[in-house]
Amino acid sequence: MNCKEAIRLMSEEMDRDLDGGNRFALRLHKLICVGCRNYQKQLSFIRQACQQQVAVDDAPPTTPDLNPPQRL
């Protein structure tokens, strides 16, 4: 497995479980390849950040203050 293949599998793994052979090959590649280990760290960090952003977007918007102080 080369890095290109490993990267493809890593992003695939984010969306669905890999089959046994691919999962094993990917794990093996990450053992020997620092670059891909770092890439995976970044990938999961970015994904986590995206999920947090989605959670924020799902939260109800804060209601604006409808009672402004009256200044006549």
First-residue to last-residue Cα distance in the chain: 75
- Of 4-12, 18-26, 47-55, 64-72, the segment contacting Zn ion by CB under 5 A is 4-12
Nearer to Zn ion, 24 or 50 (CB): 24
Does residue 3 bind Zn ion (CB under 5 A)? yes
Residues 10, 36, 45, 52: which binds Zn ion (CB under 5 A)?
A: 36
Does residue 33 bind Zn ion (CB under 5 A)? yes
For residue 60, CA distances in Å to 1, 56, 57, 68 come to: 46, 9, 8, 21
Least distance from Zn ion to the Cβ atom of residue 26, Å: 10
Tokens describing residue 20:
């046994």
Q: Which residues contact 3 (CB under 8 A, 6 or more apart)?
A: 29, 33, 35, 36
Q: What are the residues binding Zn ion (CB under 5 A)? A: 3, 6, 33, 36
